Amino acid sequence: MESATITSLMGTSANFAHEGVATSEADRGHFRDDEELLDAYSEAVTGAAELMSPSVVNIEVSQQSSRRSSNIRRAPRERGGSGSGFIFTPDGFILTNSHVVHDAEKIEVTLNDGRKSEAALVGDDPDTDLAVIRISATQLLPARLGTSQKVKVGQLAIAIGNPYGFQCSVTAGVVSALGRSLRSRSGRLMDDVIQTDAALNPGNSGGPLVTSRGEVIGVNTAMIIPAQGLCFATSIDTAKFVAGRLIRDGRVVRSFIGVAGQNVPLPRRLVRHYNLPAESAVLIVSFEQESPARRAGLREGDLVIAFDGATVAGIDDLHRLLTDERIGRVVPVTVLRGTEQLSLEIMPSESRTVRA
């Protein structure tokens, strides 16, 4: 009896040991799966970085500033800054941020192989925070430009920069959201902005945001410092359009009507009476001298509710509608003047300011 008990206990112990071995092997299998996933992730990031690194450049800029006192004007003092960019044509055109090169007196580019070249500013567009510069150099490898139309939330996103001119800085994350809007330094709203949690290191502004295939889907532009993990990139589709205009014209031409306005809610009785699609509008508070809006008969206090057939719920809607296609073309504008709804005709002119 005692022997049987011992045998039984030994059998149970053996079973426990056997189960322990099985569990250990299962754990090792899970570990192998995790390692394989990590290896695949690492390979995607390193592969994209290797493809892009020859195209990513460091940009150093210098500006002259003079200091004044009441009686003394001091000698100009050189101020500098840096950022990143990437080559997108074989003949030396480089995309970067407007805030990196705006008002620069000297721009120097350092290539990934260590070569340095002075760059010329082709044009910059503060409204989208994009700029194009150009260098004269041989054996350049342009980046592959993708399309932001195929980008999906949750896909791998890799931010690459060249902040010090020695080697690429790489961070990885996912696309957090699409179609975001971000206020540019000029005051206009940038549309079709990609949000990602791929951290932007100092000096990475203007660098590319790429997919695991090494295709550029955005130009890194900003991060919200108090909110950890919120970084933004101008979509590559917007960048393609802006770069084309900058190369062709040196700037992006937009239309304007010459008003200063503010967003205001509409009285509910007017919204119901006219069956308006929006409950807010743009209140005209002032005009530019000899502005198209003044010539069209608009007045201070008018509420703009539609422009060229599109609803205007705020100043950003108006900015989006003031494209170069409307320059010199008569378009309808609908306003509320008191309790009366009026339809006027206006001919936008070419914009030279950041106002509407």
Residue 30 annotated to the active site: no
Residue 103 annotated to the active site: no
DSSP 73: B
How many other C-beta atoms can be found within 10 angstroms of the C-beta atom of residue 28? 10
Whether the CB-CB separation of 61 and 106 falls below 8 Å is answered with: yes
14 burial class (0-12, 13-18, 19+ CB within 10 angstroms)?
A: exposed
Using a CB cutoff of 8 Å and minimum separation of 24, what contacts does 116-120 make?
A: 119/59, 119/94
Q: From residue 285, give the alpha-carbon distance in Å to each of 161, 262, 282, 315.
A: 43, 7, 9, 12
Instruction: Report the distance separating Cα 129 and Cα 197, nearest Å.
Output: 20
Instruction: Report the distance separating Cα 125 and Cα 274, nearest Å.
Output: 39
125, 129, 302, 317: the catalytic one is: 129
148, 169, 176, 205: the catalytic one is: 205
Residue 169 annotated to the active site: no
99, 169, 192, 317: the catalytic one is: 99
Instruction: Report the distance separating Cα 354 and Cα 189, nearest Å.
Output: 11
Whether the CB-CB separation of 169 and 202 falls below 8 Å is answered with: no
Q: Which residues are known catalytic residues?
A: 99, 129, 205
